[in-house]
Structure 1
Amino acid sequence: MAWWQIILITLYSGVQILDELQIWSGLNTPIGAGFIVGLIMGNIPVGLFIGASMQLMILGVGTFGGASRIDATIGTVLATAFSISIHGMSPQVAISSIAVPVATIMIQLDILARFTNTYFAHRIDHDIETFNYKGIERNYLLGALPWALSRAIPVFLALAFGRGLVQAIANALNGSWAWLGNGLSLAGATLPAVGFAILLRYLPVKKHVAYLILGFTITTLFSVIFFNVQSLGTGIAAISKGFSVKFNGMPMLAIALLGFALSIMHYKGSVNEDKENVTKNAVKLADSSDETKGEITDDEL
């Protein structure tokens, strides 16, 4: 791993948390981290694979208020960097042996960043009392330092001094501990399914089970049809040299657009239903006011 790659990945690690807190451009997500680090390391497909797997793992995980959660983005950063630079480390092993443990450890550093940031918050309170507007602006900007350093420092230390340790672990998992390496590969491959399970646990599945069944059926149906057509085209091309037509599989974008269309239909139906309910309630309220018109209430007595 070159020195400039370590510097760029470290800078990205510090900036991405500020992006998450303020801008939310999407580059601070695991899939965004996989793309950026994969681009820096020269292997975007591996970065996207690790980032997408971690993204799926945390689909149903959220944070509210001051709560901390696992930092899947930093886990993706280190897993992608080591998976590409370390010989013999597959993306699945990198996910289960690096990404998940690092993402869990980063909870403690996230708490430390929040705790340290209270120093600047108290200084801002003091500046507000003394009407020191320059001090308010300065301490507000300085408050970004604990957040950025809580991500940049561990990433730099891991990339600069941890490569030898990770290489030794990779050699062991491919050697005498191959049984453990195979288990970690299997665990890394199943983590996206865990993320889907968590997501389905918190989504209103019972209320919208029809859409769940419809989406699963459409995806499976089109996948089977396009796969068979693609296989048929490949067979014909092998027999006839003049057959040059290419059959591609159904892209995930098409499936996503189908889901988007269904969501629009459901949203419009819900809006129309809400409008009808409001109109009915208004009519009932008007009728009840007409019926009670002229009556003497206790207050008027």
Structure 2
Amino acid sequence: MQIEMWQIILLSLLGFYAIVENLGICILANQALMMGTITGLIMGDLTTGLAVGATLQLMGLGIQAYGGASVPDYMTASIVGTAFAVMSGKGIEFGIGLAVPVGLLMIQLDILARFCNVFFQKRIDSAVEHVDENKIKLFHRLGIVSWGLSRGLPIFLVLNFGESIVKFVSDVIPTWVTGGLQVAGGMLPAVGIAILLRYLPVKQFITYLLLGFVAVAYLYIPMFGVAIVGFALALLQFKKLTEATTVTQQVVVNEGISEDEYEN
């Protein structure tokens, strides 16, 4: 598939918006799953966008730029990975395999963008000292532009020369390399699940984990069905905890201790 210029422009603007909004409060807009879904719609292959975005979303769980640290940018990776998966026609695993190094490469551009923002921040500090409101607004907006261009511009360049890049990847790079990327892409969902289980209280709720495994591996229940079962079990667990708390409070009150003293 040959990508059109309007698709390149939309995806570049999407990458620009995603990283800028990453500093805001819209937690749904700046997720790899959402970026993959929107990219899939733009590229005309929603299934591929959902698959690539969901896989990268799993990989990014628990990864945050705490303290200003630079972390892999799976939002941009989701855009590029989905676009290349559709353009190349080699499938979801191939797109995921290419998306991972893109996310790691974005770390370097993230550092460059932060460096530019430090420059603008110094100018803002100087403008504050001189009470120059116009310069404060100007440098603030320039900081937003530099931050957005750190993703939007690379996406534009990569996708603009996408046909030649895809041809290079398809014809020049050895088959064992592309095959390795496909194998790695197939393994990444398992890695994401393993990372997720590492931070969840698995030992406390091992029964529910085993039920979910049996439902998928042996009963072949679709993921949506498993999600409904999990939601039902979560409601049951919540109800049990609520009832236990109510009983405990009643026992405390019957023993002559007020609720205020119990809470203290």
**Taking structure 1 as the reference length, what is the TM-score of the superposition?**
0.73
Secondary structure in structure 2 of the residue aligned to 1:143: helix
Q: Which has the higher contact order (CA 8 A, sep 6+)?
A: 2
Greater C-alpha Rg: 1
Residue equivalent to 1:239:
none
Q: In the aligned structure 1, how far is the partner of 2:66 from the partner of 2:232?
A: 30
CA shift for structure 1 position 45: 1.6
**Change beyond 3 A, Cα 1:131–1:207:** farther
Residue equivalent to 2:206:
209
Q: In the aligned structure 2, how far is the partner of 1:60 from the partner of 1:84?
A: 28
Q: Output the amino acid matched with 2:61.
A: L
Residue 200 (1) aligns with residue 197 (2): yes
CA shift for structure 1 position 6: 1.2
Q: Cα deviations across residues 174-201 of structure 1 (Å, max 9, x unaligned)?
A: xxx3333333222111110011111111
CA shift for structure 1 position 16: 1.0
CA shift for structure 1 position 72: 1.2
* Runs (5+) with no aligned partner, structure 2: none
Q: In the aligned structure 1, how far is the partner of 2:186 from the partner of 2:6?
A: 31
CA shift for structure 1 position 60: 4.4
CA RMSD after TM alignment: 3.1
Secondary structure in structure 2 of the residue aligned to 1:142: helix
Q: Output the amino acid matched with 2:69.
A: A
Of residues 179, 182, 195, the one that matches 2:179 is: 182
Contact 1:50 1:95 (C-alpha < 8 Å) held by counterparts: yes
Q: Cα deviations across residues 56-115 of structure 1 (Å, max 9, x unaligned)?
A: 2323433323122111121121122122223x533212221x211111110111121122
Q: Cα deviations across residues 6-53 of structure 1 (Å, max 9, x unaligned)?
A: 111111110111222214252332221222222222222222222222
Q: In the aligned structure 2, how far is the partner of 1:137 from the partner of 1:24?
A: 22
Residue equivalent to 1:80:
82
**Change beyond 3 A, Cα 1:181–1:119:** closer
Residue equivalent to 2:116:
116
Q: Cα deviations across residues 184-234 of structure 1 (Å, max 9, x unaligned)?
A: 2221111100111111112222233233223333444542xxxxxxxxxxx
Contact 1:59 1:196 (C-alpha < 8 Å) held by counterparts: no
Residue equivalent to 1:144:
144
**Taking structure 2 as the reference length, what is the TM-score of the superposition?**
0.82
Q: Cα deviations across residues 116-173 of structure 1 (Å, max 9, x unaligned)?
A: 1122333333444444445444433332112101001111111123531331221245
Q: Output the amino acid matched with 1:53.
A: T
Q: How does 1:219-298 map to 2 (within 5 A)?
A: 219-220=216-217, 222-223=219-220, 250-267=221-238, 269-270=240-241, 276=248, 283=257
Of residues 17, 21, 24, the one that matches 1:22 is: 24
Of residues 45, 48, 64, the one that matches 2:50 is: 48
Count of aligned pairs between the two proteins: 256
Residue equivalent to 1:93:
94
Contact 1:92 1:184 (C-alpha < 8 Å) held by counterparts: yes
Contact 2:216 2:223 (C-alpha < 8 Å) held by counterparts: no
Secondary structure in structure 1 of the residue aligned to 2:185: helix
* Runs (5+) with no aligned partner, structure 1: 224-249, 288-301
Q: In the aligned structure 1, how far is the partner of 2:136 from the partner of 2:238?
A: 43
Contact 2:39 2:83 (C-alpha < 8 Å) held by counterparts: yes
